[in-house]
Structure 1
Amino acid sequence: MSKITSIEVSARAKAGKGAARATRRAGLVPGVIYGGKQEPTLIAIDPRIIIKGIQTSGWRSRVYEIKVGGKAERALVRDVQLHPVKDSPVHVDFMRLAPGSRVHVEVSVHFENEEACPGIKRGGVLNVVRHTIEVDVPADNIPEFFTVDLSKLDINDNVRWEDVKGTEGTTPLTHEENFVVASIAAPSVDTTEAAEEEATTEEAAS
């Protein structure tokens, strides 16, 4: 299950552009917690929390426990709007996680034992087809990440959905069955370099 990150935010009393601008002038980022068949909760959050969160791998599936007004709610980040010039956060949307519900999330894929991979040792290259996989999953059991073990893969071997670890209880949101997640590609050959080596060999023989 995804690690739960606890954060504290302030409540906002008003919605609208004017109230949002006032929040930003105070050095905070306006946001909202919605869903779960409840009324939206308007919040103001420290921008450093948002920046730290989105700069960390797997942020789209990270569960936040948001403490606001003496109440704690669990939620996922659904959208972060950034300033077009400064690239700083200007608004954030959180989606409530209602107990017993299911949600769609993107879960990152971690690759392990690359240094022990026979194909890579022979000069092959790890070709990642999917860095994240979108899945349908219970809201109370969201994976922090999926894992792929590379220790037994040789050149031209594929990693498919059935090979990925940590997928219990999840359903991939794709029409392709047992899709490819990654492969070990054969090493590319520089034809110019190969031709030069061949010419050198022929000259040495003659």
Structure 2
Amino acid sequence: MSDFNFDAQIRTEIGTGASRRLRHAGLVPAVLYGADKEPVSLTLDHNKINKAQENEAFYSHVLTLNIDGNSEEVIVKAVQRHPFKPKLMHLDFQRIVRGTAMNASVPLHFINEEDSVGARAGGTVMHLLNEVEVRCLPKDLPEYIEIDILALEAGQSLHLHDITLPQGVELVALSKGEDSQDLSVVTIKPAKGASEDDDAEGADSETTEE
């Protein structure tokens, strides 16, 4: 199901001091939870996991953890990074269960930005969301969701309900009934002075008509 496959070891030493020693040894502490099982503390090779997380798909794929001869299918739920060094400090993994729906964050890819109607009119494309939370079966989890803004005009926005979703995938924010939040995803800000120019043109037209 996944190209991301990592070896992990069960961690018995818990605490700040133990975690610090693990990091000095080239390991990164982690925890695995979910699927109605007890949480398990783990360690993974820091360099391998750090390199893998540079790939956007790392955060929206089902990963495989090999733990003492057993394989667990998981998704990344949280990553703690060093405040200024390119180091990972801790990871949270959640078990997934085949055939059972799951929630996961999926990145958004915007296409045709430069060719969009609004951009060609001098507007500026502004991303208001870069990822969305979806609910689906593990087999249906998309690597990313594509949003085409070719027809978007200056001053217009696309909202969550405008997103075309893959089959079997729903947006968590829109599945909450009356509490749903149809957030703006992307907008095109008109070029500075465009509205004033439009108003001036309108005024000139009215004067001419008179």
Range of TM-score over shorter length? 0.7 to 0.9
Q: Which string of whole-angstrom CA distances, capped at 9 and with x for unpartnered residues, describes residues 35-88 of structure 1?
A: 112333433212123323443335432321122322221111122223456452
Q: What secondary structure does 1:140 align onto?
A: helix
1-structure distance, mates of 2:50, 2:188: 34
> Where does residue 12 of structure 1 map in the other structure?
10
1:30 corresponds to which letter in structure 2? P
Say if 2:22 and 2:28, in contact at 8 Å, map to a contact too: yes
Greater CA drift, 32-41 or 170-179? 170-179
Residue from 179, 193, 206 that aligns with 1:189: 193
1-structure distance, mates of 2:186, 2:81: 31
Q: What secondary structure does 1:109 align onto?
A: strand
Map 1:1-206 to 2 at 5 A.
4-17=2-15, 19-57=18-56, 59-84=58-83, 86=85, 88-174=87-173, 175-176=179-180, 178-189=182-193
2-structure distance, mates of 1:83, 1:161: 33
1-structure distance, mates of 2:58, 2:70: 23
TM-score, normalization: structure 1?
A: 0.77
What is the percent sequence identity of the aligned residues? 27
1:119–1:43 Cα change, 3 Å: same
Q: What secondary structure does 1:159 align onto?
A: strand
In structure 2, stretches of 5+ residues that fail to align are 174-178, 198-210
2-structure distance, mates of 1:167, 1:19: 44
1:10–1:56 Cα change, 3 Å: closer
Q: Which string of whole-angstrom CA distances, capped at 9 and with x for unpartnered residues, describes residues 89-126 of structure 1?
A: 22222111111222222211100122321221111111
1:31 corresponds to which letter in structure 2? A
Q: How many residues align?
A: 189
Greater CA drift, 118-127 or 160-169? 160-169
RMSD over aligned Cα, in angstroms?
A: 2.7
